[in-house]
Structure 1
Amino acid sequence: MGTPTSRPTMRRRTKKTLLIAAAALLAIGLVAVIAFVGVNAQTFFHALGARPPAVGTTIVAPTESKAALSAASPSGLSDDEAAAAAYLAEQPTAYWLTPELDPIDEVWDRIAHLADEARDQDAALAVVVYGLPGRDCGNHSAGGLDPEGYVEWTDLIGQALRNAQDVQKIVILEPDSLALAPDCGNIDERVPQLSGAADRLAGIDTWIYLDGGHSDWLPAEQMADLIRQVGVSDHVRGFATNVSNYQSTTAEFDYAHEVAGLLGGDVHAIVDTSRNGAGPAGSEWCNPAGRLIGDPGGTYGDDVVDTNLWIKPPGESDGTCNGGPDAGVWWPEGSAELTREAR
């Protein structure tokens, strides 16, 4: 594996000028030409100033995160819990789009607001799209939309993302969807669902990463085969690993390199380091005790791993296990434990 580097790379951002606006409009008009002549769309858009995530990338710290909401209403929290919420509210972390919190008639406005925050913070917009039919195979994060609703929902998300042409956009598409599919017995359903969603979400300066499991889950060969069935193309940059898990950064870099090598071509990865500061707790994945937040996003990267990011928001429960509330619910006690060495 390549050695992770801590040297930030410069990232050119688009500006609100007539020149860039004209370039963006020109890019839209040339999409059909790109397809016709066979030019790689990612390469073409790079020439217009779009750049994939890299070391030094900073994503939005959303004001609508559950950490921020808890920090704004600290009544009933201990001093440690209030301090943890305030600390985590300030950390750049992906926002999870779910149909339960951001339904079809509201998700456009959510994206628009997040894009405004990205502009204000001079940051990239990072979202996790998490609303697949039969999500989590009925486990702790069960839910999602019906097939028709999912198409409409992801189409609206894609439209809203494309409307924010001046913002770099990072999309983590349906964590666990591929890694769980063999156990759930729904690979034949998942592959077209994810491929279709990627097509609907695609746009200029939008970098999409499929579910890549993690280093202590499926063997690299099996994970690569699942990703290959969906396809890594101009619409899909690569895959994300360690989402909502606790594996070490080194192990995830090794795993990402192995999976990418099996896939071949120009395949890249993102590694979630939001909660891996103390490494894994054996095979325990659901609110294991003694964990810590990991290195900030944008710290590491190499020729395969674009960078690390905080994808799973620290402080949100994995599910009703080890004292935690329902999956995705803010857990003050857990947030205090995760940040005990950072505050």
Structure 2
Amino acid sequence: MPTSRRTVSIFAVTGAVAVVAVVTAVVLLGGRPPEPPGRDTKIVASASSKAADAASRAPAGSAEHDAAHYLSDQPTAVWLTPEADPVDVVGERIAQLATEARAQSARIAVVVYGLPERDCGGQSAGGLDADAYVEWTQAIGQALRDATDTSPIVILEPDSLALAPECGNVPERVAQLGAAVDAIGAESTWIYVDGGHSDWLPADEMADLIEQVDRAAHYGRGIRGFATNVSNFMPTSDEVAYAHDVAARLDGLHAVIDTSRNGAGSNGEWCNPPGRLVGEPGGTIGDSVVDTNLWIKPPGESDGECNGGPAAGRWWDEAAIELTQDVVVSD
């Protein structure tokens, strides 16, 4: 979205809000600076997940129930979309997550997924128009500032940057994501933009895209870093190496890695590939560049209408059973 007077005014407003958020964070955290994610980070396992809903509907003792029940217990990021969480309800959704996080002594982790021309018309096509997207991300930012004591983690628009060169919309994507960082940013909120994965864009190209977003953001601290392997299956060791390669071209940025479905590695497919397994639990790795790993893509939710799956984001019992076959034993 080209910079306009309206966009500049939004930056000014969100910058003022960010100053208030810094003061609020210091008060609520007892004067201590908020801690970034790291090894042993625990994120909320929400009772309103699709896995929990599937477990409640499946017959007790069935393979469908056991797989869904296992997955519902795993700390997993919650995806916010304008279709499921429009601007008038997204704040309440985040407040509910914050209540759950406090009860579990965990942190909120959300995926913001609703930018204009989302997924470039692919399996997850949709999103908001430019003005509505600004309004929606501002609502998300305010709700996260109200939950500052949970030190929220935000994965901002998976695939948006890695897809941008192919879609021919790099300037628009950079402007949109920079404005979203301004709308969501706060001293206690840790934002990671799209970092693709190790078998997608070369590290130098990915780093350049990430740096453009970081420069476009007017909020003081900008982004914490980038997220790799979101909704993909690349081995953790490959992603750690890739994260280091990308970060070496950036100034002090860090990474998180999605390990929700990479337990069997990749077969080269990205859309509901068969034979995959859940990966290592979140919070089990971390170093000077990789803050930690998280479950970002909820296992059991379809990638799209491919390899026999339902529409993107819909629960798929067969996938849940296959992904958990090595960790769940059904009667």
TM-score, normalised by the number of residues in structure 2: 0.88
Please give the alpha-carbon distance, in whole angstroms, between the structure 2 residues aligned to 1:292 and 1:46.
Answer: 42
Call closer, same or farther: CA 1:80–1:203 in 2, change over 3 Å. Answer: same
1:253 is paired with a residue whose SS is: helix
Match of 2:259 among 273, 283, 298: 273
Report the counterpart of residue 83 of structure 1 in structure 2: 66
Call closer, same or farther: CA 1:47–1:300 in 2, change over 3 Å. Answer: farther
2:154 is paired with a residue whose SS is: strand
Please give the alpha-carbon distance, in whole angstroms, between the structure 2 residues aligned to 1:288 and 1:81.
Answer: 19
Call closer, same or farther: CA 1:159–1:29 in 2, change over 3 Å. Answer: closer
Call closer, same or farther: CA 1:192–1:295 in 2, change over 3 Å. Answer: same
Please give the alpha-carbon distance, in whole angstroms, between the structure 1 residues aligned to 2:93 and 2:20.
Answer: 27
Please give the alpha-carbon distance, in whole angstroms, between the structure 1 residues aligned to 2:22 and 2:105.
Answer: 27
Q: Name whichever of 109-118 and 228-237 sits farther off.
A: 228-237
1:262 is paired with a residue whose SS is: coil
Match of 1:241 among 222, 225, 228: 228
RMSD between aligned alpha carbons? 2.0
Match of 1:50 among 12, 34, 38: 34
**Cα shift at 1:81:** 1.4
Report the counterpart of residue 119 of structure 1 in structure 2: 102
- The AA in structure 1 aligned to 2:282 is G
1:308 is paired with a residue whose SS is: strand
**Cα shift at 1:78:** 8.2
Report the counterpart of residue 335 of structure 1 in structure 2: 320
Q: Structure 1, residues 260-280: CA drift from partner, whole Å, max 9, x if none?
A: 0011x2110000000000000
Match of 1:71 among 32, 55, 65: 55
Q: Structure 1, residues 242-263: CA drift from partner, whole Å, max 9, x if none?
A: 0000000000000000000011
Please give the alpha-carbon distance, in whole angstroms, between the structure 2 residues aligned to 1:181 and 1:30.
Answer: 31
**Cα shift at 1:220:** 0.4
1:157 is paired with a residue whose SS is: helix
- The AA in structure 2 aligned to 1:272 is D
Please give the alpha-carbon distance, in whole angstroms, between the structure 2 residues aligned to 1:287 and 1:31.
Answer: 42
Report the counterpart of residue 301 of structure 2 in structure 1: 316
**Cα shift at 1:83:** 0.5
Please give the alpha-carbon distance, in whole angstroms, between the structure 1 residues aligned to 2:204 and 2:148.
Answer: 36
2:312 is paired with a residue whose SS is: coil
Q: How does 1:88-99 map to 2 (within 5 A)?
A: 88-99=71-82
Runs of 4+ more than 2 Å apart = 27-32
Q: How does 1:100-119 map to 2 (within 5 A)?
A: 100-119=83-102
Please give the alpha-carbon distance, in whole angstroms, between the structure 1 residues aligned to 2:21 and 2:180.
Answer: 22
Match of 2:130 among 133, 142, 147: 147
Q: How does 1:219-238 map to 2 (within 5 A)?
A: 219-231=202-214, 234-238=221-225
Call closer, same or farther: CA 1:291–1:30 in 2, change over 3 Å. Answer: closer
Please give the alpha-carbon distance, in whole angstroms, between the structure 2 residues aligned to 1:151 and 1:328.
Answer: 23
- The AA in structure 1 aligned to 2:130 is P
Q: Structure 1, residues 210-262: CA drift from partner, whole Å, max 9, x if none?
A: 00000000000110011111117712000000000000000000000000001
Please give the alpha-carbon distance, in whole angstroms, between the structure 2 residues aligned to 1:97 and 1:48.
Answer: 29
Please give the alpha-carbon distance, in whole angstroms, between the structure 1 residues aligned to 2:78 and 2:124.
Answer: 16
**Cα shift at 1:165:** 2.0
Match of 2:113 among 117, 130, 145: 130
Unpaired runs of 5+ residues, structure 2, are 1-17
Please give the alpha-carbon distance, in whole angstroms, between the structure 2 residues aligned to 1:267 and 1:46.
Answer: 26
Q: Structure 1, residues 101-159: CA drift from partner, whole Å, max 9, x if none?
A: 00111101000000000001000100000000000000000000111110000000000
Contact residue 118 and residue 126 of structure 2 kept, 8 A: yes
- The reply to whether residue 299 of structure 1 matches residue 284 of structure 2 is yes
Percentage identity across paired residues of the two chains: 62
Please give the alpha-carbon distance, in whole angstroms, between the structure 2 residues aligned to 1:213 and 1:308.
Answer: 15
**Cα shift at 1:46:** 11
Please give the alpha-carbon distance, in whole angstroms, between the structure 2 residues aligned to 1:106 and 1:235.
Answer: 26
**Cα shift at 1:47:** 6.3
- The AA in structure 1 aligned to 2:113 is Y
**Cα shift at 1:72:** 1.3
**Cα shift at 1:49:** 3.8
- The AA in structure 1 aligned to 2:234 is Q
2:193 is paired with a residue whose SS is: strand
Report the counterpart of residue 286 of structure 1 in structure 2: 271
